[in-house]
Amino acid sequence: MNSDDINPNDPGINPLAVLHFQDRFTRELPADPETDNHRRQVHSACYSLVTPKTAANPALVAFSAEQAADIGLSPKDCESSQFLHVFAGNQLLPGMVPHAMCYGGHQFGHWAGQLGDGRAINLGEVEDIHGQLQMLQLKGAGETPYSRMADGLAVLRSSVREFLCSEAMFHLGIPTTRALSLITSGEQVVRDMFYDGRPQAEPGAIVCRVAPTFLRFGNYELFNARGDIDNLRKLVDYTIRHHFPHLGVPCKQTYLDWFKEVCERTADLVVHWMRVGFVHGVFNTDNTSITGLTIDYGPYGWIDNYDPDWTPNTTDATNKRYRFGHQPQIAQWNLLQLGNAIYPLINDVEPLQQILTDYVETYTQKWQQMRAGKLGLSSYQREADDDLNQQLQKILLLAETDMTIFYRKLADVSCEASASTLGDDDLFAPLMPAYYAPDALSKEDKKDICDWLRRYQQRVRQEGTSDAERKIRMNQINPKYVLRNYLAQQAIDKAHDGDYSLIHELLEVMRRPYDEQPQFEHYAAKRPDWARHKPGCSMLSCSS
């Protein structure tokens, strides 16, 4: 069925009539003149027109009620047949202009040339309840000119991870693309999960992603790499006009102000990742959002035992370029590539270099305030707190320490004057659940931890904050629930058996990650030992 088959004025036939699609991107920017959908290099264009592949037997797995409400849809709307077929790619609504974006990027530090939306198809923009336009995009709805050797499809495994993590990150307060729906296609898709020559057929699925824009650094890099400065300028001007309108009319100074704000938003984003222990896993420039959103949930992971050198990406296992502790530096490297891309619009290296230098100070200040917040402190006092945090880093590495549980339980350690006489065992007791092998902690380890705890108590008392007030503060920034890899994998395993109940339950749990939710206590537990080396729990690839 196409848009001509739908009567937009009949709510019985068209429960999605509230969605009024438009598309500034395709209206204002240059299109690929070739409309045949075959793999090719696309020049002098920001996008190619494509049509989603028809799903053979789509079925709704889940939808985000909050994201649906934001664009004016009720749960009943989301359970309708039309919703199913539209967001499986089988129907087009009036105003939709399906297209795939053209972009390039640096992957693992190397220029990869043209990449583009290989399995993502933008449907168009709709206005949300806040008056902001949101782009709706199908991931896994078929091939595009940018699919290269792939099929443009997605499997249920990776789609469950994207759907759940998008919404989990949103409720954690982290800038992110959203997920409206998760739908199975009714077809099998062949994937070699670890690129080891053992491909398997898996259930296919489509996720509808939502964001103000899916523009990433690579969109700008490709025009610069090809020497297409006219279209580079058009794209930058479009971006400022629609996504940074407060900066004013595009000109040299506006371009610099824009670059500075992109740097600041990127710093904010990475500070949030570090706050909750999230590792993107493939933080390439083509996976770096121009508006500071977490974008493209592939081989991501959550820190279980604290390890700054951990990466969830098997492709990155040797060099660990995208390891947890290296994400701030990678963000700066990616920003450098964006600065190089827009240099022809400015032709002055000094202000660009200064903005990149300022990023380090900007990130450091944001990181310090975040660290103070995680400890329940009202401010970061460099003289005292630099060493306090350095020592904290050391004690987190003494033994396998669950980062999420450690910070959550630290709020239960009393810091009031009456606690100054506690012995080591009583002082340490609240933190015991954070250790994977508490009996293996040596006397020296426990002494080092307790020494740090006493310094921490003294620092808190300097601020005069009560235990009750500090706990409220800490529990608002340190989540109890995060989407640990093993939880997502359990949901995937059940889904492969046709049981979607855990997807729904995890979606519910992750809606309130800072609340106690005693009925879901088991989802706040440490990673079980069986998950330590299980595929999908600790080992993920770009196919994940």
Which helix (H) or strand (E) is 203 found in, with range?
strand 200-211
Which residue bears the tokens 């969830």?
312
Which helix (H) or strand (E) is 475 found in, with range?
helix 467-477
Q: Which two tokens stand for residue 92?
A: 């087009």
- Considering all CA atoms of the chain, what is the largest pairwise distance in Å, rounded to the nearest integer? 77
CB 368 within 8 A of CB 385: yes
- Of 299, 262, 269, the C-alpha closest to 281 is 299
- Find the DSSP H helices in 88-228: 156-171, 217-225
CB 308 within 8 A of CB 329: no
Instruction: Name residue 190's beta-bridge partners.
Output: 201
- Catalytic (active site) residue 286: yes
- Catalytic hit among 286, 316, 385, 402: 286
Instruction: Name residue 210's beta-bridge partners.
Output: 136, 178
Q: How many CA atoms lie within 13 A of 27 on its CB side?
A: 9
The 3-state DSSP class for residue 274 equals helix
DSSP character string of 128-163: -TTS-EEEEEEESB---TT-TTS-SB-BHHHHHHHH
The 3-state DSSP class for residue 470 equals helix
Q: 38: exposed, middle or buried (C-beta count within 10 Å: 0-12, 13-18, 19+)? A: exposed
CA dist list (Å): 366 to 275, 283, 305, 378: 11, 20, 24, 13
CA dist list (Å): 176 to 124, 170, 236, 381, 426: 19, 6, 21, 31, 41
Catalytic residues: 286
